[in-house]
Structure 1
Amino acid sequence: MGILDGKRILVTGVTMDSSIGFAVARVAQQHGATVVVSNFGRALGITRRIVNRLPEPCPVIELDVTDADHLAGLPAALGEHLDGLDGVVHSIAYGNPETLLGQDFLTGPWEDVAQAVQVSAYSLASLAKACRPMMSGGGSIVGLTFDATVAWPAYDWMGVAKAGLESVSRYTARDLGPDGIRVNLVSAGPLKTLAAKAIPGFEQLESAWGERAPLGWDETDQEPTARAVVALLSDLFPATTGEIVHVDGGFHAMGL
């Protein structure tokens, strides 16, 4: 038996098989879940090919979390494949190069910052609101963050967006708690994903993690992060919400 036997899970933001979302979908299926994944635009075709690499090929729906029509139509789109939802994975973030300057944080243009905050933080609340009607029996929403308690080299306004995401998760947990819906985040160490390639100085983060994480850190292995997400999707944490679980080899707890 798997810890997600009988669970119906939506995993958003699956593009490549190197993405955290893909690893979550794979581990969720291995633990018995029925999975639907989402993406949008030009990446949708890639996602439809990538899901064939999962243990069980699964449906792919189009979902742009900044599009009100997509959000309004989400229950109907999911209803073609599932009769309800037990879990949702928010694996969505975006910041264009103007938000990842790696040099002068103060020059980030508001229009680009606003987009990063909408896609990376506000979308958690938007997605939760859209999925809420399908989670009548309660459930779990899990998002992915990168420790926003400190300033990182090069991460700049995306770091601010992640701080917003962490705050949004707490308020969403407050409002959905009476419905029996838990909202938590997993804070992963640096992983070699498509998104990571856009971060100037990412190699600097990788080298620091390898030196300071007491458990060590493999930036090519999404499995530990995926397992944590799946655990939070399961019924093993029935009284945990508004939490951030670190999967970073212990880096966050270390000083010099």
Structure 2
Amino acid sequence: MGLLEGKKILVTGVLMDSSIAFHVAKLAQQEGAEVVLTSFGRTMKITKTIAKRLPSTPEVLELDVTDQEHLDSLAERVGEQVDHLDGVLHSIGFAPPGAFDFMSGTWEDVSTAVHTSAYSLKALATATLPLMTDKASLVGLTFDAKFAWPVYDWMGVAKAAFESTNRYLARDLGAQGIRCNLVAAGPIRTTAARSIPDFVKFEEIWDDRAPLGWDISDPEPAARACAALMSDWFPATTGEIVHVDGGVHAMGQ
């Protein structure tokens, strides 16, 4: 019997097969779950192509988390594929180029980053709530926001808001039995990472600082943590951030 046997899981953020979300979907299917994906706009075609590389090709629904009409209709559209949700993966983030210059970033840049990368966690939770069971698990992906990282700038601030949003969701959804947790992954060489200016700076230092070492091309460790948090093996864990970064978060300079 698989870790996620019989569970129904919504996975956002599958773009390429290098993405953590792709590997979460793959592991979920291998562990017995039924998976539905989301994508939007011009990336829909890409996601549908990449979805064919999964063990079983899932349905791909359109969802722009900044579009209220998409959010308002999401539960109905997902409900046409599965009758409930046991798990939801939030793997969504975006910031305009200007947001990666802290002192020059405009409010327009910053507000876009916060809306898409932080508020969207609450928006996705609210949109899927009608389908969530009383033991459902909402899992999001973050990049440890305790520090002022090089080059991350306003995206780092958005991630701090994202992590705070998770704690408030844990507070407000706990009475319904819904768990809300995050996985803080180390740097992975994904399409999203390549959009960050000078991302190579993380690549250059991470493996040296990680006690366990770190493979920037391997998203599976983070995906395994996401799958585990969606399982029944963490029934009393919520509001938590699980670090999957080779141990960098615990090290001094």
Same fold per TM (> 0.5)?
A: yes
Give 1:234's match in structure 2, choosing from 231, 234, 238. 231
- Structural mapping, 1:27-38, within 5 Å: 27-38=27-38
Secondary structure in structure 1 of the residue aligned to 2:71: helix
Give 1:190's match in structure 2, choosing from 183, 187, 191. 187
| Distance in 2, Cα, partners of 1:77 & 1:16 | 24
Q: Which runs of 5+ in 2 are unaligned?
A: none
Secondary structure in structure 1 of the residue aligned to 2:242: strand
Identity %: 61
Q: Count how many residue pairs are aligned between Structure 1 and Structure 2.
A: 253
Deviation at 1:136, TM superposition (A): 3.6
Q: Which runs of 5+ in 1 are unaligned?
A: none
Deviation at 1:137, TM superposition (A): 2.9
Deviation at 1:227, TM superposition (A): 0.2
Secondary structure in structure 2 of the residue aligned to 1:27: helix
The residue number in structure 2 matching 1:99 is: 99
Instruction: Please tell me the root mean square deviation across aligned C-alpha atoms, in Å.
Output: 0.7
Secondary structure in structure 2 of the residue aligned to 1:15: coil
| Distance in 2, Cα, partners of 1:205 & 1:136 | 38
Secondary structure in structure 2 of the residue aligned to 1:37: strand
The residue number in structure 1 matching 2:169 is: 172
The residue number in structure 1 matching 2:212 is: 215
Which 4+ runs in 1 deviate beyond 2 A? none
Deviation at 1:226, TM superposition (A): 0.3
The residue number in structure 2 matching 1:119 is: 116
The residue number in structure 2 matching 1:44 is: 44
The residue number in structure 1 matching 2:150 is: 153
Query: With structure 1 as the length reference, what TM-score do the two structures score?
Result: 0.97
The residue number in structure 2 matching 1:244 is: 241
Secondary structure in structure 1 of the residue aligned to 2:211: coil
| Distance in 1, Cα, partners of 2:116 & 2:135 | 25
Secondary structure in structure 2 of the residue aligned to 1:205: helix
| Distance in 2, Cα, partners of 1:130 & 1:58 | 20
Query: With structure 2 as the length reference, what TM-score do the two structures score?
Result: 0.99
The residue number in structure 1 matching 2:139 is: 142
Deviation at 1:97, TM superposition (A): 0.6
Q: Deviations over 1:193-219 (max 9, x none)?
A: 001111122111112111010000000
Letter in 2 for 1:25: A
Q: Deviations over 1:41-86 (max 9, x none)?
A: 0000111111000011111000111111111101111011100000
| Distance in 2, Cα, partners of 1:143 & 1:16 | 18
| Distance in 1, Cα, partners of 2:218 & 2:239 | 26
Secondary structure in structure 2 of the residue aligned to 1:190: coil
Secondary structure in structure 1 of the residue aligned to 2:208: helix
Letter in 2 for 1:40: F
| Distance in 2, Cα, partners of 1:71 & 1:200 | 31
Q: Deviations over 1:97-126 (max 9, x none)?
A: 11113xxx1110001100100000000000
Secondary structure in structure 2 of the residue aligned to 1:99: helix
